[in-house]
A and B are shown apart, each in its own frame.
Chain A
Amino acid sequence: MTSLAILEKETALKPTGAAGQTAPATGSVQVRDLEHTYDASGRTTKALEGIQLDIAPGRFVVIVGPSGCGKSSLLMMMTGLLRPSSGTILCGGRPMTEPDPDVVGVVFQEASLYPWLTAQDNVEFPLSLRRMPKAERAKRARDRLALVGLNGFEDRYPHELSGGMKQRVSIARGLVQDPPILMLDEPFAALDEQTRISMGDELLRIWERTGKTVIFVTHSLTEAAYLADEIIVMSARPGRIIDRIEVDLPRPRTYEMMSTPRFAELRERIWSQIRTQVVE
Protein backbone atom coordinates (compact mmCIF):
# COMPACT_ATOMS: atom_id res chain seq x y z
CA MET A 1 0.00 0.00 0.00
CA THR A 2 1.23 3.42 -0.92
CA SER A 3 0.16 4.97 2.32
CA LEU A 4 2.37 2.62 4.27
CA ALA A 5 5.34 3.60 2.15
CA ILE A 6 4.67 7.23 2.94
CA LEU A 7 4.51 6.39 6.59
CA GLU A 8 7.83 4.61 6.54
CA LYS A 9 9.49 7.49 4.77
CA GLU A 10 8.18 9.87 7.38
CA THR A 11 9.37 7.85 10.32
CA ALA A 12 12.76 7.50 8.68
CA LEU A 13 13.02 11.25 8.18
CA LYS A 14 12.19 12.19 11.74
CA PRO A 15 14.74 10.91 14.19
CA THR A 16 13.47 10.08 17.64
CA GLY A 17 13.60 13.42 19.38
CA ALA A 18 15.03 14.44 22.71
CA ALA A 19 13.36 12.14 25.21
CA GLY A 20 13.11 12.66 28.93
CA GLN A 21 13.86 16.38 28.91
CA THR A 22 12.88 18.31 31.99
CA ALA A 23 11.62 21.30 30.02
CA PRO A 24 7.83 21.82 30.02
CA ALA A 25 6.24 19.14 27.93
CA THR A 26 5.23 20.05 24.43
CA GLY A 27 2.27 18.65 22.59
CA SER A 28 4.13 16.18 20.44
CA VAL A 29 3.34 12.48 20.41
CA GLN A 30 5.58 9.73 19.11
CA VAL A 31 4.83 6.05 18.97
CA ARG A 32 7.52 3.62 17.93
CA ASP A 33 7.20 -0.07 17.04
CA LEU A 34 4.19 -0.54 19.24
CA GLU A 35 2.83 -4.06 19.52
CA HIS A 36 0.28 -5.51 21.84
CA THR A 37 -0.77 -9.07 22.49
CA TYR A 38 -2.92 -10.39 25.26
CA ASP A 39 -4.00 -13.75 26.58
CA ALA A 40 -7.68 -14.49 26.89
CA SER A 41 -9.25 -17.89 27.51
CA GLY A 42 -6.00 -19.70 26.85
CA ARG A 43 -5.38 -18.07 23.50
CA THR A 44 -2.91 -15.35 22.61
CA THR A 45 -4.40 -12.56 20.55
CA LYS A 46 -2.45 -9.96 18.68
CA ALA A 47 -4.29 -6.69 19.16
CA LEU A 48 -1.92 -4.09 17.73
CA GLU A 49 0.97 -4.47 15.35
CA GLY A 50 3.75 -2.22 14.10
CA ILE A 51 2.23 1.09 15.12
CA GLN A 52 4.35 4.14 14.26
CA LEU A 53 2.96 7.59 14.88
CA ASP A 54 4.29 11.12 14.85
CA ILE A 55 1.98 13.87 15.86
CA ALA A 56 3.18 17.46 15.83
CA PRO A 57 2.10 19.88 18.58
CA GLY A 58 -1.22 21.60 18.05
CA ARG A 59 -2.60 19.08 15.55
CA PHE A 60 -6.09 17.67 15.62
CA VAL A 61 -5.71 13.99 14.85
CA VAL A 62 -8.60 11.56 14.59
CA ILE A 63 -8.15 7.79 14.79
CA VAL A 64 -10.82 5.69 13.06
CA GLY A 65 -11.14 1.99 12.41
CA PRO A 66 -13.57 -0.92 12.48
CA SER A 67 -14.83 -1.87 15.91
CA GLY A 68 -12.47 -4.12 17.78
CA CYS A 69 -9.43 -2.83 15.88
CA GLY A 70 -7.79 -1.68 19.07
CA LYS A 71 -8.08 2.07 18.50
CA SER A 72 -9.32 2.64 22.03
CA SER A 73 -6.57 0.41 23.40
CA LEU A 74 -4.01 2.38 21.43
CA LEU A 75 -5.36 5.59 22.92
CA MET A 76 -5.32 4.14 26.44
CA MET A 77 -1.68 3.21 25.89
CA MET A 78 -0.89 6.74 24.82
CA THR A 79 -2.49 8.01 28.06
CA GLY A 80 -0.31 5.64 30.06
CA LEU A 81 -3.29 3.73 31.45
CA LEU A 82 -2.44 0.58 29.55
CA ARG A 83 0.99 -0.97 28.95
CA PRO A 84 1.78 -2.16 25.44
CA SER A 85 3.58 -5.49 25.09
CA SER A 86 6.43 -3.72 23.37
CA GLY A 87 7.33 -0.40 21.80
CA THR A 88 7.67 3.09 23.17
CA ILE A 89 5.32 6.01 23.50
CA LEU A 90 6.52 9.54 24.11
CA CYS A 91 4.10 12.32 24.87
CA GLY A 92 5.67 15.75 25.09
CA GLY A 93 8.99 13.94 25.08
CA ARG A 94 8.15 11.93 28.18
CA PRO A 95 7.77 8.16 28.15
CA MET A 96 4.19 7.23 29.02
CA THR A 97 4.76 4.25 31.25
CA GLU A 98 2.10 5.57 33.58
CA PRO A 99 -0.47 8.37 33.40
CA ASP A 100 1.03 11.84 33.52
CA PRO A 101 -1.70 14.44 33.98
CA ASP A 102 0.79 17.25 33.38
CA VAL A 103 1.11 16.09 29.79
CA VAL A 104 -2.10 14.34 28.85
CA GLY A 105 -5.69 15.14 29.79
CA VAL A 106 -8.15 12.34 29.09
CA VAL A 107 -11.84 12.47 28.18
CA PHE A 108 -13.60 9.13 28.38
CA GLN A 109 -16.87 7.89 26.98
CA GLU A 110 -20.00 8.82 28.88
CA ALA A 111 -20.56 8.19 32.59
CA SER A 112 -17.05 8.97 33.70
CA LEU A 113 -18.09 11.88 35.93
CA TYR A 114 -18.41 11.18 39.64
CA PRO A 115 -22.13 11.28 40.42
CA TRP A 116 -21.48 12.32 44.03
CA LEU A 117 -19.62 15.47 42.99
CA THR A 118 -20.98 18.67 41.46
CA ALA A 119 -19.76 19.83 38.05
CA GLN A 120 -17.35 22.18 39.81
CA ASP A 121 -16.01 19.45 42.11
CA ASN A 122 -15.67 17.01 39.22
CA VAL A 123 -13.49 19.50 37.37
CA GLU A 124 -11.52 20.22 40.54
CA PHE A 125 -10.99 16.52 41.19
CA PRO A 126 -7.62 16.18 39.38
CA LEU A 127 -6.31 19.27 41.16
CA SER A 128 -7.53 18.11 44.56
CA LEU A 129 -5.57 14.87 44.09
CA ARG A 130 -2.46 17.04 44.05
CA ARG A 131 -3.59 19.03 47.07
CA MET A 132 -3.75 22.37 45.29
CA PRO A 133 -5.14 25.07 47.62
CA LYS A 134 -8.92 25.23 47.49
CA ALA A 135 -9.18 28.82 46.29
CA GLU A 136 -6.83 28.33 43.39
CA ARG A 137 -8.37 25.11 42.16
CA ALA A 138 -11.86 26.57 42.47
CA LYS A 139 -10.83 29.46 40.27
CA ARG A 140 -9.20 27.20 37.70
CA ALA A 141 -12.19 24.89 37.56
CA ARG A 142 -14.57 27.82 37.13
CA ASP A 143 -12.43 29.13 34.28
CA ARG A 144 -12.50 25.79 32.52
CA LEU A 145 -16.24 25.40 32.99
CA ALA A 146 -16.64 28.86 31.46
CA LEU A 147 -14.41 27.80 28.57
CA VAL A 148 -16.75 24.91 27.76
CA GLY A 149 -19.78 27.20 28.08
CA LEU A 150 -21.05 25.96 31.40
CA ASN A 151 -20.93 28.99 33.65
CA GLY A 152 -23.91 28.92 35.95
CA PHE A 153 -23.90 25.12 36.11
CA GLU A 154 -21.11 24.76 38.67
CA ASP A 155 -23.34 23.42 41.42
CA ARG A 156 -25.25 20.91 39.33
CA TYR A 157 -24.76 17.22 39.86
CA PRO A 158 -24.16 15.05 36.78
CA HIS A 159 -27.68 13.59 36.85
CA GLU A 160 -28.99 17.13 36.54
CA LEU A 161 -27.07 17.69 33.30
CA SER A 162 -27.81 16.55 29.74
CA GLY A 163 -25.50 14.11 27.98
CA GLY A 164 -23.80 16.91 26.03
CA MET A 165 -23.29 18.97 29.17
CA LYS A 166 -21.76 16.01 30.98
CA GLN A 167 -19.21 15.65 28.21
CA ARG A 168 -18.47 19.38 28.39
CA VAL A 169 -17.70 18.89 32.08
CA SER A 170 -15.45 15.96 31.12
CA ILE A 171 -13.61 18.17 28.64
CA ALA A 172 -13.23 20.89 31.27
CA ARG A 173 -11.83 18.27 33.64
CA GLY A 174 -9.42 17.09 30.95
CA LEU A 175 -8.14 20.62 30.49
CA VAL A 176 -8.01 21.71 34.12
CA GLN A 177 -4.32 20.95 34.58
CA ASP A 178 -3.56 22.68 31.31
CA PRO A 179 -1.84 19.69 29.69
CA PRO A 180 -0.49 20.24 26.16
CA ILE A 181 -2.31 17.15 24.89
CA LEU A 182 -5.96 16.19 25.14
CA MET A 183 -6.98 12.62 24.32
CA LEU A 184 -10.62 11.73 23.81
CA ASP A 185 -11.99 8.19 23.59
CA GLU A 186 -15.24 8.23 21.60
CA PRO A 187 -16.45 11.11 23.74
CA PHE A 188 -19.65 11.81 21.84
CA ALA A 189 -20.61 8.25 20.94
CA ALA A 190 -23.59 8.19 23.29
CA LEU A 191 -25.02 11.52 22.14
CA ASP A 192 -27.74 12.09 19.58
CA GLU A 193 -26.74 13.29 16.10
CA GLN A 194 -27.51 16.98 16.64
CA THR A 195 -25.78 17.20 19.99
CA ARG A 196 -22.85 15.32 18.54
CA ILE A 197 -22.37 17.89 15.78
CA SER A 198 -22.67 20.85 18.13
CA MET A 199 -20.25 19.21 20.55
CA GLY A 200 -17.83 18.76 17.67
CA ASP A 201 -18.07 22.49 16.91
CA GLU A 202 -17.57 23.19 20.59
CA LEU A 203 -14.46 21.04 20.72
CA LEU A 204 -13.05 22.73 17.61
CA ARG A 205 -13.65 26.13 19.19
CA ILE A 206 -11.87 25.05 22.40
CA TRP A 207 -9.03 23.55 20.40
CA GLU A 208 -8.58 26.75 18.41
CA ARG A 209 -8.62 28.80 21.60
CA THR A 210 -6.17 26.65 23.55
CA GLY A 211 -3.87 25.31 20.83
CA LYS A 212 -3.74 21.86 22.40
CA THR A 213 -2.79 18.74 20.54
CA VAL A 214 -5.99 16.73 20.25
CA ILE A 215 -6.14 12.98 19.63
CA PHE A 216 -9.67 11.82 19.10
CA VAL A 217 -10.90 8.26 18.68
CA THR A 218 -14.22 7.70 16.96
CA HIS A 219 -16.06 5.22 14.78
CA SER A 220 -17.96 8.00 13.00
CA LEU A 221 -16.48 8.81 9.60
CA THR A 222 -18.39 12.08 9.41
CA GLU A 223 -17.04 13.14 12.75
CA ALA A 224 -13.53 12.21 11.65
CA ALA A 225 -13.68 14.17 8.40
CA TYR A 226 -15.36 17.14 10.05
CA LEU A 227 -12.93 17.56 12.92
CA ALA A 228 -9.52 16.37 11.82
CA ASP A 229 -6.35 17.87 10.43
CA GLU A 230 -5.28 14.32 9.89
CA ILE A 231 -7.15 11.03 9.97
CA ILE A 232 -5.43 7.83 10.94
CA VAL A 233 -7.21 4.76 9.61
CA MET A 234 -6.68 1.45 11.35
CA SER A 235 -7.19 -2.08 10.09
CA ALA A 236 -9.19 -4.83 11.74
CA ARG A 237 -7.37 -6.92 14.34
CA PRO A 238 -4.45 -7.01 14.60
CA GLY A 239 -4.76 -3.25 14.39
CA ARG A 240 -2.29 -1.60 12.05
CA ILE A 241 -2.24 1.87 10.57
CA ILE A 242 -3.37 1.44 6.96
CA ASP A 243 -3.84 5.04 5.91
CA ARG A 244 -3.08 8.57 6.98
CA ILE A 245 -5.24 11.21 5.39
CA GLU A 246 -4.49 14.92 5.46
CA VAL A 247 -7.78 16.77 5.61
CA ASP A 248 -7.42 19.91 3.51
CA LEU A 249 -10.84 21.36 4.25
CA PRO A 250 -10.44 24.99 5.28
CA ARG A 251 -10.98 26.13 8.85
CA PRO A 252 -13.16 27.09 10.54
CA ARG A 253 -15.19 24.08 9.55
CA THR A 254 -18.86 24.68 8.95
CA TYR A 255 -21.88 22.49 8.79
CA GLU A 256 -22.29 23.33 5.07
CA MET A 257 -18.96 21.71 4.27
CA MET A 258 -20.48 18.34 5.00
CA SER A 259 -22.47 18.55 1.78
CA THR A 260 -19.50 19.49 -0.45
CA PRO A 261 -18.03 16.98 -2.93
CA ARG A 262 -14.67 17.21 -1.18
CA PHE A 263 -16.21 16.08 2.10
CA ALA A 264 -17.94 13.18 0.37
CA GLU A 265 -14.63 12.22 -1.25
CA LEU A 266 -12.91 12.15 2.11
CA ARG A 267 -15.59 10.02 3.68
CA GLU A 268 -15.48 7.73 0.66
CA ARG A 269 -11.74 7.29 0.99
CA ILE A 270 -11.97 6.37 4.68
CA TRP A 271 -14.94 4.12 4.09
CA SER A 272 -13.27 2.25 1.24
CA GLN A 273 -10.36 1.50 3.54
CA ILE A 274 -12.51 0.38 6.42
CA ARG A 275 -14.96 -1.58 4.28
CA THR A 276 -12.31 -3.99 3.07
CA GLN A 277 -11.55 -4.63 6.72
CA VAL A 278 -15.12 -5.18 7.76
CA VAL A 279 -15.91 -7.59 4.92
CA GLU A 280 -12.98 -9.79 5.83
Chain B
Amino acid sequence: MSGTVPSAKSGRSGHGLLTWLLGLLVLFGAWQAAYVGELLDPMLLPSVPEVLATAAELIRQPAFLGHAGVTLLEVAAAFAIAVPTGIILGIAIAESPYWSAVLKPVVFLVFSIPKTIFLPMFILAFGINFSQKVGFGVFSTIFIVLISAFSALESVKSEHVRVARAYGATLRQIAFRVYLPSMAPILLEAVRLAMIFNLTGILLAEMYGSRAGLGQLVSNWGENFMLRELLAGILIISAGAILFNEAVRWFETRCEHWRA
Protein backbone atom coordinates (compact mmCIF):
# COMPACT_ATOMS: atom_id res chain seq x y z
CA MET B 1 0.00 0.00 0.00
CA SER B 2 1.10 3.50 -0.58
CA GLY B 3 1.90 5.38 2.56
CA THR B 4 -0.31 6.48 5.39
CA VAL B 5 -3.50 8.46 5.28
CA PRO B 6 -3.08 11.93 6.75
CA SER B 7 -5.37 12.51 9.68
CA ALA B 8 -8.96 13.19 8.72
CA LYS B 9 -10.93 16.26 9.74
CA SER B 10 -9.64 17.85 12.89
CA GLY B 11 -12.44 18.67 15.33
CA ARG B 12 -13.20 22.36 15.52
CA SER B 13 -16.92 22.92 15.98
CA GLY B 14 -17.97 23.70 19.54
CA HIS B 15 -14.70 25.41 20.44
CA GLY B 16 -15.68 28.57 18.61
CA LEU B 17 -18.78 29.39 20.61
CA LEU B 18 -17.14 28.62 23.93
CA THR B 19 -14.12 30.89 23.45
CA TRP B 20 -16.47 33.51 22.15
CA LEU B 21 -18.62 33.49 25.29
CA LEU B 22 -15.51 33.43 27.41
CA GLY B 23 -14.17 36.52 25.65
CA LEU B 24 -17.44 38.33 26.23
CA LEU B 25 -17.41 37.37 29.90
CA VAL B 26 -13.85 38.65 30.33
CA LEU B 27 -14.71 41.93 28.61
CA PHE B 28 -17.81 42.59 30.71
CA GLY B 29 -16.02 41.41 33.85
CA ALA B 30 -13.12 43.83 33.30
CA TRP B 31 -15.55 46.62 32.52
CA GLN B 32 -17.60 46.00 35.62
CA ALA B 33 -14.47 45.73 37.75
CA ALA B 34 -13.28 49.07 36.40
CA TYR B 35 -16.66 50.54 37.29
CA VAL B 36 -16.70 49.11 40.81
CA GLY B 37 -13.08 50.10 41.44
CA GLU B 38 -13.82 53.58 40.07
CA LEU B 39 -10.89 53.44 37.68
CA LEU B 40 -12.66 55.95 35.49
CA ASP B 41 -15.01 58.79 36.23
CA PRO B 42 -18.52 57.19 36.62
CA MET B 43 -19.65 59.87 34.18
CA LEU B 44 -17.47 58.25 31.54
CA LEU B 45 -18.07 54.64 32.45
CA PRO B 46 -21.53 53.52 33.53
CA SER B 47 -21.99 50.00 34.89
CA VAL B 48 -22.54 46.95 32.70
CA PRO B 49 -26.12 46.27 33.92
CA GLU B 50 -27.07 49.91 33.28
CA VAL B 51 -25.76 49.82 29.73
CA LEU B 52 -27.30 46.44 28.98
CA ALA B 53 -30.65 47.67 30.30
CA THR B 54 -30.37 50.78 28.11
CA ALA B 55 -29.55 48.60 25.10
CA ALA B 56 -32.58 46.40 25.79
CA GLU B 57 -34.71 49.52 26.03
CA LEU B 58 -33.29 51.05 22.87
CA ILE B 59 -34.03 48.10 20.63
CA ARG B 60 -37.68 48.43 21.60
CA GLN B 61 -37.89 52.15 20.80
CA PRO B 62 -39.47 52.93 17.42
CA ALA B 63 -37.26 56.02 17.08
CA PHE B 64 -34.09 53.99 17.52
CA LEU B 65 -35.34 51.28 15.18
CA GLY B 66 -36.07 53.97 12.61
CA HIS B 67 -32.46 55.14 12.75
CA ALA B 68 -31.23 51.56 12.60
CA GLY B 69 -33.43 50.97 9.58
CA VAL B 70 -31.90 53.95 7.77
CA THR B 71 -28.39 52.68 8.44
CA LEU B 72 -29.27 49.13 7.50
CA LEU B 73 -30.74 50.27 4.20
CA GLU B 74 -27.65 52.34 3.37
CA VAL B 75 -25.34 49.52 4.34
CA ALA B 76 -27.31 46.98 2.32
CA ALA B 77 -27.48 49.22 -0.75
CA ALA B 78 -23.76 50.05 -0.69
CA PHE B 79 -22.88 46.41 -0.11
CA ALA B 80 -25.16 45.19 -2.90
CA ILE B 81 -23.51 47.62 -5.30
CA ALA B 82 -19.88 47.36 -4.20
CA VAL B 83 -19.44 43.61 -3.85
CA PRO B 84 -20.81 42.32 -7.19
CA THR B 85 -19.38 45.32 -9.07
CA GLY B 86 -16.01 44.85 -7.44
CA ILE B 87 -15.91 41.12 -8.13
CA ILE B 88 -17.01 41.37 -11.75
CA LEU B 89 -14.81 44.38 -12.48
CA GLY B 90 -11.87 42.78 -10.68
CA ILE B 91 -12.15 39.57 -12.68
CA ALA B 92 -12.56 41.51 -15.93
CA ILE B 93 -9.43 43.55 -15.19
CA ALA B 94 -7.36 40.58 -14.06
CA GLU B 95 -8.38 38.44 -17.04
CA SER B 96 -7.12 41.02 -19.53
CA PRO B 97 -3.33 41.38 -19.67
CA TYR B 98 -3.71 44.93 -20.99
CA TRP B 99 -6.12 46.22 -18.36
CA SER B 100 -4.19 44.36 -15.66
CA ALA B 101 -1.08 46.26 -16.56
CA VAL B 102 -2.91 49.57 -16.71
CA LEU B 103 -5.39 49.39 -13.84
CA LYS B 104 -3.95 47.04 -11.21
CA PRO B 105 -1.27 49.51 -10.06
CA VAL B 106 -3.89 52.27 -9.91
CA VAL B 107 -6.18 50.17 -7.78
CA PHE B 108 -3.35 49.30 -5.40
CA LEU B 109 -2.31 52.94 -5.14
CA VAL B 110 -5.81 54.17 -4.40
CA PHE B 111 -6.32 51.34 -1.94
CA SER B 112 -3.52 52.68 0.24
CA ILE B 113 -5.17 56.11 0.61
CA PRO B 114 -7.45 56.46 3.67
CA LYS B 115 -10.90 56.87 2.12
CA THR B 116 -12.20 59.02 4.97
CA ILE B 117 -10.48 62.14 3.65
CA PHE B 118 -12.76 62.06 0.62
CA LEU B 119 -15.95 62.37 2.65
CA PRO B 120 -16.16 66.19 2.30
CA MET B 121 -16.03 65.77 -1.47
CA PHE B 122 -18.94 63.34 -1.37
CA ILE B 123 -20.92 65.85 0.64
CA LEU B 124 -20.14 68.56 -1.91
CA ALA B 125 -21.02 66.32 -4.81
CA PHE B 126 -24.17 64.65 -3.47
CA GLY B 127 -25.27 66.83 -0.57
CA ILE B 128 -26.23 65.18 2.69
CA ASN B 129 -28.59 62.40 1.76
CA PHE B 130 -29.06 58.70 1.11
CA SER B 131 -27.07 58.57 -2.12
CA GLN B 132 -24.13 60.38 -0.52
CA LYS B 133 -24.00 57.74 2.24
CA VAL B 134 -24.33 54.87 -0.21
CA GLY B 135 -21.82 56.42 -2.59
CA PHE B 136 -19.28 56.87 0.15
CA GLY B 137 -19.97 53.30 1.37
CA VAL B 138 -19.31 51.93 -2.12
CA PHE B 139 -16.17 54.04 -2.45
CA SER B 140 -14.90 52.80 0.93
CA THR B 141 -15.54 49.17 0.00
CA ILE B 142 -14.85 48.61 -3.65
CA PHE B 143 -11.06 48.68 -3.58
CA ILE B 144 -10.72 45.84 -1.11
CA VAL B 145 -13.18 43.84 -3.22
CA LEU B 146 -11.23 44.56 -6.41
CA ILE B 147 -7.97 43.48 -4.81
CA SER B 148 -9.58 40.34 -3.43
CA ALA B 149 -10.97 39.54 -6.87
CA PHE B 150 -7.47 39.88 -8.34
CA SER B 151 -6.02 37.41 -5.89
CA ALA B 152 -9.06 35.12 -6.19
CA LEU B 153 -8.40 34.83 -9.89
CA GLU B 154 -4.70 34.22 -9.29
CA SER B 155 -5.64 31.36 -6.98
CA VAL B 156 -7.18 29.39 -9.87
CA LYS B 157 -4.65 26.68 -10.71
CA SER B 158 -3.85 26.22 -14.37
CA GLU B 159 -3.64 22.44 -13.79
CA HIS B 160 -7.26 22.47 -12.69
CA VAL B 161 -8.30 24.27 -15.83
CA ARG B 162 -6.25 21.88 -17.95
CA VAL B 163 -7.93 18.84 -16.41
CA ALA B 164 -11.34 20.26 -17.23
CA ARG B 165 -10.25 20.94 -20.80
CA ALA B 166 -8.82 17.45 -21.17
CA TYR B 167 -12.24 16.08 -20.25
CA GLY B 168 -14.01 18.25 -22.77
CA ALA B 169 -15.41 21.00 -20.52
CA THR B 170 -17.06 23.97 -22.22
CA LEU B 171 -16.06 27.53 -21.29
CA ARG B 172 -19.20 27.83 -19.21
CA GLN B 173 -18.40 24.63 -17.37
CA ILE B 174 -14.85 25.81 -16.74
CA ALA B 175 -16.21 29.08 -15.32
CA PHE B 176 -18.73 27.49 -12.99
CA ARG B 177 -17.08 24.18 -12.13
CA VAL B 178 -13.44 25.27 -11.86
CA TYR B 179 -13.11 29.05 -11.51
CA LEU B 180 -15.99 29.59 -9.12
CA PRO B 181 -15.11 26.90 -6.56
CA SER B 182 -11.42 27.82 -6.80
CA MET B 183 -12.15 31.45 -6.06
CA ALA B 184 -14.90 30.90 -3.49
CA PRO B 185 -12.73 30.91 -0.35
CA ILE B 186 -11.04 34.19 -1.21
CA LEU B 187 -14.32 35.73 -2.37
CA LEU B 188 -16.02 34.78 0.90
CA GLU B 189 -13.20 36.44 2.76
CA ALA B 190 -13.70 39.46 0.53
CA VAL B 191 -17.35 39.58 1.57
CA ARG B 192 -16.32 39.71 5.21
CA LEU B 193 -13.72 42.39 4.73
CA ALA B 194 -16.04 44.36 2.48
CA MET B 195 -18.67 44.55 5.22
CA ILE B 196 -16.15 45.93 7.69
CA PHE B 197 -15.01 48.64 5.27
CA ASN B 198 -18.60 49.30 4.26
CA LEU B 199 -19.90 49.73 7.81
CA THR B 200 -17.02 52.02 8.67
CA GLY B 201 -17.71 54.19 5.64
CA ILE B 202 -21.46 54.43 6.18
CA LEU B 203 -21.25 55.12 9.92
CA LEU B 204 -18.63 57.77 9.38
CA ALA B 205 -20.74 59.45 6.72
CA GLU B 206 -23.65 59.45 9.16
CA MET B 207 -21.58 60.94 11.97
CA TYR B 208 -20.33 63.78 9.83
CA GLY B 209 -23.33 65.96 9.15
CA SER B 210 -26.45 63.87 8.99
CA ARG B 211 -30.05 63.81 10.13
CA ALA B 212 -30.59 60.12 10.63
CA GLY B 213 -28.87 56.80 11.13
CA LEU B 214 -26.99 55.06 13.90
CA GLY B 215 -23.82 56.97 13.22
CA GLN B 216 -25.61 60.27 13.72
CA LEU B 217 -27.27 58.90 16.87
CA VAL B 218 -24.01 57.73 18.39
CA SER B 219 -22.24 60.96 17.60
CA ASN B 220 -25.14 62.92 19.11
CA TRP B 221 -25.07 60.89 22.31
CA GLY B 222 -21.36 61.52 22.56
CA GLU B 223 -21.73 65.26 22.15
CA ASN B 224 -24.42 65.33 24.85
CA PHE B 225 -22.45 63.18 27.28
CA MET B 226 -25.09 60.43 27.18
CA LEU B 227 -22.62 57.69 27.97
CA ARG B 228 -25.17 55.01 28.77
CA GLU B 229 -26.86 55.40 25.39
CA LEU B 230 -23.54 55.82 23.63
CA LEU B 231 -22.14 52.57 25.01
CA ALA B 232 -25.42 50.76 24.42
CA GLY B 233 -25.37 51.93 20.81
CA ILE B 234 -21.79 50.76 20.41
CA LEU B 235 -22.73 47.36 21.82
CA ILE B 236 -25.68 46.98 19.45
CA ILE B 237 -23.69 47.98 16.36
CA SER B 238 -20.80 45.74 17.38
CA ALA B 239 -23.15 42.81 17.89
CA GLY B 240 -24.61 43.32 14.40
CA ALA B 241 -21.19 43.55 12.77
CA ILE B 242 -19.83 40.54 14.62
CA LEU B 243 -22.91 38.50 13.81
CA PHE B 244 -22.51 39.15 10.09
CA ASN B 245 -18.81 38.40 10.22
CA GLU B 246 -19.30 35.15 12.09
CA ALA B 247 -22.09 34.05 9.75
CA VAL B 248 -19.78 34.41 6.75
CA ARG B 249 -16.95 32.73 8.64
CA TRP B 250 -19.25 29.82 9.39
CA PHE B 251 -19.79 29.48 5.65
CA GLU B 252 -16.05 29.65 5.09
CA THR B 253 -15.30 26.85 7.53
CA ARG B 254 -17.94 24.72 5.87
CA CYS B 255 -15.90 24.75 2.71
CA GLU B 256 -12.60 24.72 4.54
CA HIS B 257 -11.29 21.55 2.89
CA TRP B 258 -10.95 23.34 -0.40
CA ARG B 259 -8.27 25.64 0.92
CA ALA B 260 -5.86 22.82 1.77
A contacts, CB < 8 Å to B: 79-81, 99-101, 104, 106, 108-109, 111-112, 114-116, 125-126, 129-130, 156-165, 168, 177, 191-192, 195, 198-199
Contacts and interface: CB of A to CB of B under 8 A. Distances in A.
A112 B159 contact: yes
Interface residues of B, number: 31
A158 to B, nearest CB: 8
B163 A162 contact: no
Contacts of B11: none
A81 B160 contact: no
B168 interface: yes
Contact of A198 (B2, B164, B178): B2
Contacts of A116: 181-182, 184, 255, 257-258
Contacts of B160: 112, 114
B1 to A, nearest CB: 7
B159 A160 contact: no
18 contacts: A80-B166, A81-B165, A100-B168, A101-B167, A108-B159, A112-B162, A114-B178, A116-B181, A116-B255, A125-B164, A126-B168, A129-B167, A129-B173, A130-B168, A159-B260, A162-B3, A164-B2, A177-B167
B8 to A, nearest CB: 5
Contacts of A160: 5-6, 8-9, 257
Interface of B: 1-6, 8-9, 157, 159-160, 162-170, 173, 177-178, 181-182, 184, 255, 257-260
What does DSSP make chain A's interface, helix, strand, loop or mixed?
loop
A99 B2 contact: no
Contact of A129 (B9, B177, B181, B182): B177
A13 B134 CA distance: 76
Contact of A165 (B5, B162, B164, B177): B5
B118 to A, nearest CB: 39
B165 A165 contact: no
A172 to B, nearest CB: 13
Contact of B181 (A109, A114, A195): A114
A162 B4 contact: yes
B163 A112 contact: yes
Given A81-B162, A112-B160, A163 B3 contact: yes
A170 B85 CA distance: 37
B2 A129 contact: no
A126 B6 CA distance: 26
